[in-house]
Chains A and B, each alone.
Chain A
Amino acid sequence: MIFTGLKQTPEMVAAAAIQEDVDVVGISTLSAGHTRSLPKLARLLREAGAGDKLLLAGGVIPEEDRPLLEAAGVHRTFTMGSDTRDIVAYLNSWWARKLEAEA
């Protein structure tokens, strides 16, 4: 797991995700800037040929924004109060599906 630190722009997150060749990018956002930053990050990753990475977001994200974010390429949002066991289960099943698809 690679921690990029706070205060990252979408450009910085995309660059770090590509340099580290991670499988999953997780973003925590609390400032309400997510409707701009998350779609932009998804686009930057796609444009760089790294659209295969799983993009997850958490923090303060209203339910209504989820369709917009999902359409823009955010695979899943886990907001406040999400059970970490649900997140782990989601990641495990995503990983199993990915391995199956590659096999």
Chain B
Amino acid sequence: MDVAKELLAGTVLAGARAIRWLDDNDPRGADVLASVFADTGRAHIVGVTGPPGAGKSTLVSALIAEERKRGRRVGVIAVDPSSPFTGGAILGDRVRMSRHTLDPDVFIRSVGSRGQVGGLARSTHDACLILDAMGYDVIFVETMGVGQDEIDIVALAHTTVIVGVPGLGDEVQAVKAGLMEAGEIFVINKADREGYEATQKQLELMLHLRAESRGYKDDDWSPPLLPAVALKDEGIAAIVDAIDQHGERLRASGDFERRTGQREREHTLTLLREEIMRSITGSAAPAVMAAVERRELDPHTAARSLLDQWRRKNMPGLNDTNDSEVL
């Protein structure tokens, strides 16, 4: 199977395999990506995030249905950072989207934590590129808004939808703390529940304060605050309208390409960091790390030493002006 050719033709099996290769650091993944990269940069990437229990998966499921009504092909990346076991995870986000499983124009992929910091963001970005190349018009990236990793994921979206629910004050706090800055569209899901008005007022106030502090001009994007009952498909069309409007705004201003470009730049840096880390923390690292753990070596000296060893190995012409090898 010519994976690159097949995935450009939209074959799910090929796209799924490419995503896996990239995830596994299999060199075939990078080759495929290089040959399909010219076909990326078209999809509208929409981040959907919020605290646990906000009904994000259910909301995404409803959004898929609405996008499909509008004739678009939809990709979904369901990111689940919760990992009960080291090096593994059990991902259940698909469950709430299962009504779309048999739709050939919907591709749902789960991404779980693989233990390393930043791993989620890298895997998610690679998966986005593949889905983009496969010709999906909209890609939803669903993630829990809790840790640093998740904020990195939000940063890769063109449009970010923040989801809250009524009745839980501390969830609003979580939204306020981590994600309030990032949101372009705010949704209060489960709006038929008690406490909706209070949550609505709180979020409205926060959005107002945010606008004030940024000194918004009249033609700036003003984030809408929308009610929804995702389980009943209520309020969904309005959210998709807002996503579309935000997308059009980005395209008209040139921000769409700018954001896409920034994303590739960030991704490149992530890959570099990963590769350099892997390369530096090679054979000498465990001994140095053990010495640091025993507090026989301070972290600064240890890091400098590892870096120097790595330089000597990789750049043989370089003069050693600073001999700081300690082990």
Question: Which A residues are closer than 8 A to B by beta carbons?
Answer: 1-5, 8, 11-12, 15-16, 18-21, 48-50
Contact = CB atoms under 8 A, between A and B. Distances in A.
Interface stretch (B11-19, B266-274, B298-306): B11-19
A1 B114 CA distance: 12
22 contacts: A1-B88, A1-B90, A2-B90, A2-B110, A3-B94, A3-B95, A4-B95, A8-B98, A12-B101, A15-B101, A16-B94, A16-B108, A18-B12, A18-B13, A19-B107, A19-B108, A19-B109, A20-B109, A20-B110, A21-B16, A21-B20, A49-B13
Most chain B beta carbons < 10 A, residue from A19, A48, A50: A19
Contacts, number: 53
Interface string B78-96: 0000000000111110110
B1 interface: yes
A48 B102 CA distance: 14
Contacts of B95: 3-5
A101 B98 CA distance: 35
Contacts of B90: 1-3
Nearest to A15: B101
Contacts of A1: 88-91
Contacts of B12: 18-19
Contacts of B101: 4, 8, 11-12, 15-16
Contacts of A18: 12-13, 16
Contacts of A15: 101-102
Most chain A beta carbons < 10 A, residue from B88, B90, B95: B95
Contacts of A12: 98, 101-102
Interface string B138-174: 0000000000000000000000000000000000000
Interface in B90-126: 90-92, 94-95, 98, 101-102, 107-110
A5 B16 contact: no
A50 B16 CA distance: 11
